[in-house]
Structure 1
């Protein structure tokens, strides 16, 4: 195969491999795990700075990662420029497969222990990317990572930093650190003590001593430094930290020279923050007109002292209240010298007037002139409570339920320049909202220049006879410029449905079955009415017994205190009493009464009605009509006695003859025997006598 052919094959294989990688999982440049593909992010990062090593002792870790998927495998070669250190592994491999490329790779860097007393050494680690992906190829370079190597062949304490700068902070939020380690392995424990000069209670060294052993002598131990944020500004601080070694190893005795660390602490204290607040812990600031001459106190407060004079200005600003008319205006400079108390009190004074006004207010504003920061609490609202109040009264006139509305009148003594507001609310009493009246709970006002407000409460008419009913009205949420006595006002709804109650008597025959008494009402009730009724013998007029008084049990069924319920909405009701049918003749009319003993509504008790029982067993004569022809020799009338066992005499006479045939009537007497007997009377037809009656 020629070189040209071989090169063509390599290109083809490379192209095929690229196409294959494009479809394999994890190789898609738009893979969700990798985010949006960005060739500009093809960067290699080294996750460390200077590596501090010790011969025969401390090792360090170097971390490398890629930020974007490569097109080809990336190999990162690690070599020490002067050969004073070794990397394991010496090559970090990042394949473009799945997410393997995104995993960080680490190498352990170890100093070469050469047993030479050569003191501290400096070397550098070359980190170089090698890849067919041109974006990654060549990244890194020679001497990329500095190496500081401690010789283990002579005694000494290595100090990582000898000059530090830092700022004050609360509770060590901001701190600085430096590191200590031994330069050779000791034969006994070594304790290094830190001493601060000049001593300052706000400057902290943690810990104040470190101990190194044969096992950790080459490990760097950390010393933390921080300075408290004090209340003094412009107080920078410079301290020196000296180190003293102590050990039974003579090489690490007190005479061992160890570098000092110089620390510059810059003041981080802000100028005092100034605020204003109501004095004595009050939540709000207010002045009462009625207490003219009294004051409301404002406190001007600094959060900490200053070494410089603090100058502030406090002034009042008009709102709805006007300086000079409603309050005494203030415009005042305040100076806090070093050592002064951190709180200053300024008094505000109200001016009384005789005007009815809404609550008014003004502002107190704090501004800075020098050496202070003005906090968020730089303004206070001061309210002026008006003491000039008007008085509300409420009246109402009784109204009938058909009157349409009950008119409530809310009044003040005189017209005022501002509205008076309140909430008007009705409350049910014996009258029910929604049934007897339309309830109200709503805000109202008496307009400026007016003295009253009429509030109609709609009354709901009904057909029922009921007692007069009441409901009340109350005021609440009265505006600050008015007061009200607080006693609810009662409205009376006068019933306009008069009542008339009639208990009707009844007349019934013995065979009627029932005597039905009827009760008639002019107006219904809105609830059932319960009555107790009792039957009484006779008509109450003192008729002799046996002649007119009906007998309970034989003529009718008696009741005593029996319940009779009149339904709601009814204007009539009936109460039946059973009649006992007889077969013997009695008095033509017999009587009994129904009396209402009591009722759940007034006006019923004591009503009485009479029932008349007409006897249908009275004796009587029955005469049948007769019709005959003129050729008949006689007409026979039959007279019968009904409902009697006694003998009865009766008379007969002719009557109803035409005048020309009339003869003097002859009176004839006959006797009929009881038990249905009959007698026959004969007349000649020529007499033209019509049907007669006995």
Structure 2
């Protein structure tokens, strides 16, 4: 005594996309009593049938009855799997009682794991002027355990986020959670930079564990290099009569290394300064330092002239190295022919 199974094309395949399949079942011989065939899925969370039982008797034992199989459409990324449908007969006909056979069914999954990132206008831009930006993150499928996503900046001295971790589970996996990015406002002229924020998942769900994706973030700087000169009344004038004048100098932004500014007169026989060099660093870059100018009192009738003081920076900070600016200085003569 047997249960005769006939599969379409000798295989049975279904998928979560809605593809169903079927097989037929009948008895191999006429039973002496009613035979009830119970149809059972090996995993009813993944594979189901349209009928739970079929009944055969002395009249219909040779009639094929159809069992239709469907995949359970869920949101979990299980991957493609194989399950079975067990067909078990019970009957007062002892030859058929407890007779059993199974059908193997392939089940295709339509879910994939992934971290879904959505950027505003598909770009992320922040600046030291206070402009922030954000992106959202959610999972691509329902996890089988809690997923913790750790948010890490590639340079936390330049770019920061409002959250360090996000948690997703079977209930909120499809809910977008927001990460807001901000630039660190410093005084260093780094220029425009492109950094990234890495989103790394850890979970007991092995499909999500160690999954990672990054978001590129453009960071605008509001600092520039420069030597800032401030003249008294916006002019500098000295004379051989002893009139001196001065200007101050400071850096426009915090240097990454010591900056030495060398003070040079365009004609040291006519115009001199009280200092030859100034030193600026990360601590005093914004402190004004004073250069006092004096005319050289000679006995030559040169007339009034204009000279200049050149201020030249040297530094291991390449943005400041060789930066130069000059101050025009009028020099009055006190000699007559």
Q: Is contact 1:526-1:568 (8 Å) kept? A: no
Partner of 2:135: 408
Matched with 1:589 is 304
Q: Is the 8 A contact 2:149 2:166 kept in 1?
A: yes
Q: Which residue number corresponds to residue 473 of structure 1? A: 198
Aligned partners of 1:471 and 1:490 also within 8 Å: yes
Q: Between Structure 1 and Structure 2, which shows a larger proportion of helix residues?
A: 1
Query: 1:607 matched to which residue of 2?
Result: 325
Tell me which residue corresponds to 1:507: 237
Aligned partners of 1:442 and 1:453: how far apart in 2?
11
May I ask how many residue pairs the two structures share in their alignment?
A: 234
Deviation at 1:392, TM superposition (A): 1.5
- How much has 1:454 moved relative to structure 2? 1.8
- Against the structure 1 CA distance between its residues 417 and 532, is the aligned structure 2 distance closer, same or farther, given a 3 Å change threshold? closer
What is the TM-score when the length of structure 1 is the normalising length?
0.27
Match of 2:112 among 379, 389, 394: 389
Distance 1:462 1:442, change over 3 A: same
Residue 574 of structure 1 corresponds to which residue in structure 2? 289
**Greater strand percent: which structure?**
2
C-alpha distance in structure 1 between counterparts of 2:245 and 2:258, whole Å: 22
Cα distance, 1:477 vs structure 2: 0.4
How far apart in 2 are the matches of 1:471 and 1:514? 54
Deviation per CA, 1:147-192, whole angstroms, max 9, x where unpaired? xxxxxxxxxxxxxxxxxxxxxxxxxxxxxxxxxxxxxxxxxxxxxx
Q: Which has the higher contact order (CA 8 A, sep 6+)?
A: 2
Whether contact under 8 Å (1:398, 1:492) holds in the other structure is: yes
- Cα 1:510/1:476, change in 2 over 3 Å: farther
Q: 1:281-300 alignment to 2 at 5 Å?
A: none
C-alpha separation in 1, matches of 2:302 and 2:182? 62
For the structure 1 residues 507 and 471, does the alpha-carbon distance in structure 2 shift closer, same or farther, using more than 3 Å as the test? farther
For residue 316 of structure 1, what is the aligned residue in structure 2?
A: none
Greater C-alpha Rg: 1
CA-atom RMSD in angstroms: 4.8
Query: What is the 5 A alignment of 1:204-219?
Result: none
For residues 527-676 of structure 1, what are the structure 2 equivalents within 5 Å?
530-537=259-266, 550=267, 552=268, 555-556=271-272, 562=277, 564-565=279-280, 568=283, 570-571=285-286, 573-576=288-291, 579=294, 581-582=296-297, 584=299, 586-590=301-305, 591-596=307-312, 598=314, 600=317, 602=319, 605-615=323-333, 617-619=334-336
TM-score normalised according to structure 2 size: 0.50
Query: What SS does the aligned partner of 1:422 have?
Result: strand
Q: Is the 8 A contact 1:524 1:569 kept in 2?
A: no
1:555-612 residue CA offsets vs partner (Å, 9 max, x unmatched):
426988x454266465463352663642535334342431425453637724222233
CA distance in 1, matches of 2:44, 2:159: 56
From 160, 179, 183, give the equivalent of 1:455. Answer: 179
The structure-2 alpha-carbon separation of the partners of 1:458 and 1:606, relative to structure 1 and needing over 3 Å to count, comes to: closer
Residues 228, 250 of structure 2: 8 Å contact kept: yes
SS at match of 1:508: strand
Distance 2:165 2:200 in 1: 10
**Residue matched to 2:67:** none
1:441 and 2:177 correspond? no
Whether the aligned pair in 1 keeps the contact of 2:77 and 2:142 (CA below 8 Å) is: no
CA deviations over 1:195-215 (Å, ceiling 9, x no partner): xxxxxxxxxxxxxxxxxxxxx
| Offset of residue 358 of structure 1 | 8.2
2:74 corresponds to which residue?
355
Describe the superposition over 1:594-645 as per-residue Cα deviations: whole angstroms up to 9, x where unpaired.
1425453637724222233323x245xxxxxxxxxxxxxxxxxxxxxxxxxx
Structure 2: gaps (5+ residues): 1-40, 49-69, 79-108
Change (3 A) 1:520 1:530: closer
